[in-house]
Amino acid sequence: MDSFNLQFLYCIIIIALGYLLKRRNIIKERDGEGLSRIIFNLTLPCLIIVTFNGLKIDNSLFILIFIGFIYGIIIGFLGLFFLKKKNRKTKGMVGMMIPGFNIGLFAYPLVEVIFGEKGITYFGMFDVGNAFIVFGLSYLIGSFYSQGDVQLDFKTVIRKMTKSIPLMTYISVVILNVIGLKLPSTMINVASIISEANMPMSLLLLGIYLNFTFNKKYVKLMLQFLGIRYGIGLLAGILCFLFLPYDNMFKYTLLIGFLLPTSVSVLPYSVEFQYDKKFVGTLSNITIVISFVLLWVIANVMM
């Protein structure tokens, strides 16, 4: 565990380095947009390819896709129920943040430290179900309650999902794995080299995006959001850990997965639907800090 805590410390240092570089104006926050595109469209897909290449996927892992999808739907509608007395704009802004998790940028670098490639496999399957929530349900909620004239139909949602390179990579490598086809060794070797950059770049990006300034009038709304998201997530995670008949890695995936930060996709959604970008960004950062602390506690107390 001392070795793990040391690795966790390294993660904190890299995040702090990203934040310090931003505070010193060496790196601008807008630079994070380019870095995030590199991570989402290059280093993360390469990590997925390397992780799933030739891997024997247990049938139980496909259940993680189903659970990630169903949980997102349940907590999404529960969130709207608790927000029913809020105005339409607030419902859309907060409601779209409740379902969906930040797995690609937040979970993967930390899971890789804790569990290695095995953890990436489990969380990768969970993320497939989560991706349908992030690019489907969250988008639907945000657009439905926005005041703008937003095109909302099945084709729009499907088009957005097919443009997600990480999601398409997940689906492609899982299908190839199931039918027994392997990618060329040259492609795997190149992907392996690129994938090494995913963890440090993701942690730096978390530091670049850290920002804790917000309007005090939003404090109550923030507390309501955190109560819904983490209260339900903690309860569901503990119940799954205690009663599901699967191995510990499966259970830890759900326990940790339900406590991950809100998806970073809500930031571009807030721009598209003309919500309060500063509120969405600040609340997203708060979930990163809370989830980081909870993950450290779980890793030290339960494992």
Q: From the CA atom positions of the chain, what is the Rg in Å?
A: 19
Is 90 exceeded by the pLDDT of residue 231?
yes
Q: Please tell me which of 112-126, 177-191, 228-242 the model is most confident about, judged by mean pLDDT.
A: 228-242
Q: Could you tell me which residues come within 8 angstroms of residue 260 by beta carbon, excluding any fewer than 6 positions away?
A: 101, 102, 103, 106, 107, 291
Question: 101: which strand partners?
Answer: 262
Give the model's pLDDT for residue 234.
95
d(CA 62, CA 266): 26
**CATH 1.10.1740 fits domain 2-301:** no
Residue 262 φ/ψ, nearest 5 degrees: -65, 155
Signed CA dihedral, 87, 93, 94, 100: sign only: positive
C-alpha distances (whole Å) from 64 to each of 125, 126, 137, 240 are 6, 5, 18, 12
Q: Please tell me which of 82-91, 139-148, 230-239 the model is most confident about, judged by mean pLDDT.
A: 230-239
- At residue 4 the predicted structure's pLDDT band, cuts being 50, 70 and 90, is low
Cα pseudo-dihedral 244, 64, 197, 266, rounded to 10: -110
Average pLDDT over residues 201-230: 83
Start-to-end Cα distance in the chain = 9
Nearest to 50 by CA among 191, 164, 202: 191
Average pLDDT value for the chain: 84
Is 90 exceeded by the pLDDT of residue 101?
yes
Give the model's pLDDT for residue 147.
66
Give the model's pLDDT for residue 54.
67
- At residue 71 the predicted structure's pLDDT band, cuts being 50, 70 and 90, is very high
pLDDT digits (tens, 9 = 90+) for 16-51: 898 899 989 998 888 877 887 888 789 888 988 887
Q: Where are the domains of the chain?
A: 2-301
Question: 262: which strand partners?
Answer: 101
